[in-house]
Amino acid sequence: MMHPDLMKCFDLTGRSALVTGSARGIGLEIARTLRMAGASLMLTDLDLDATRKAAADVGPDVGALRCDVSDPQSVRDLAAAIGACPDILINNAGVGREGQTRDTSDDDWRFVISVNLDGVFYCCRTFGAAMAERGSGNIVNIGSMCGFIVTKPWGGPAYHASKAGVHMLTKTFACKWAKSGVRVNAVAPGYIATNMTSNPNPTRVELTPVGRLGRTEEIANVVQFLASDASSYMTGAVLSVDGGYTSW
């Protein structure tokens, strides 16, 4: 049995958490895990009905609001609707676009960058600045191994650039707010079994040393660690959780 002091540093009882893009996939699993660790939760996503359904699935007292992270006004409206700034912010919302080629259209480029990179910036700007003013807070961004390397199958220029940008935003805000009691870290997943990887492609598994896709809870567990006091000396870190993909 785990020592009570060790368990305590993973405990999130009494803390509030906001997870973007949490109606399904990795975001929904993160919400479930933070809830199990004791946090009170607000789920946000594009589709309000789906978000409400997901919230009800996570627990009876879990909140649900609509937020399009790529729209700065939507992020400001979310902050106004919540009132108090959450203790924990998980910037999870993200998109890929299949079939991006060297002919990536302006729309493809803007779509991916606006959700994956602008969205993280808008949420950090709004909630992180409020956390820094308050003197406490914890942000975990969902980056990607695509922010470190060019993967096979190819992720496309916008996805790779956006995730590398998320990693650098993580470090930038970590340094900026370190003395204000706000920690900012990121997780860089490999291929995880969600809608994003639903298009079957054996290359993903072949090139992953552990020989399988990751499960959503294998990302959520690491996010929970970063969101808790167990990682109190960590800020500006980008943790690879990729079944060894980037180790080849």
Say whether residue 238 binds ligand NDP (CB under 6 A): no
Active-site position among 122, 159, 191, 245: 159
Choices 31-39, 77-85, 195-203, 227-235; region in contact with ligand NDP by CB under 6 A: 195-203
Cβ neighbours, 10 Å, residue 230: 15
Q: For residues 155 and 98, what is the distance between their CA atoms, to the nearest angstrom?
A: 8
Q: Given the structure tokens 């660790």, which residue do they identify?
A: 37
Could you tell me if 44 and 64 are in contact, meaning their C-beta atoms sit under 8 angstroms apart? yes
In the complex with ligand NDP, the residue whose CB is nearer, 134 or 171, is 171
Binders of ligand NDP among residues 100 to 129 (CB under 6 A) are 115, 119
The gap between the terminal CA atoms of the chain, to the nearest Å, is 36
Contact 90, 119 (CB under 8 A): no
Please name the residues in contact with 83: beta carbons below 8 A apart, sequence gap of 6 or more.
Answer: none
The reply to whether 221 sits near ligand NDP by the rule CB under 6 A is no
Place of tokens 């996805």: 159
Query: CB of 83 within 8 A of CB of 101?
Result: no
Binds ligand NDP (CB under 6 A): choice among 85, 93, 182, 220: 93
State how far the Cα of 114 lies from the Cα of 140, in Å rounded to an integer: 19
From 68, 87, 108, 218, residue interacting with ligand NDP (rule: CB under 6 A):
68
Active site residue 233: no
In the complex, least distance from residue 2 CB atom to ligand NDP, rounded to whole angstroms: 29
Q: Of the two residues 40 and 44, which places its CB atom closer to ligand NDP in the complex? A: 44
Residue 11: CB minimum distance to ligand NDP, A: 25
Can residue 240 be called a binding residue for ligand NDP (CB under 6 A)? no
Q: DSSP label at 193? A: S
Assess 205 for contact with ligand NDP (CB under 6 A): no
Based on the shown chain and the rule CB under 6 A, indicate whether residue 147 belongs to the binding site for ligand NDP. Answer: no
Nearest C-alpha neighbor of 245 from the set 155, 120, 113: 155
Chain residues in the site for ligand NDP (CB under 6 A)? 20-21, 23-27, 45-47, 67-70, 92-95, 115, 119, 142, 144, 189, 191-192, 194-197
Catalytic residues: 159
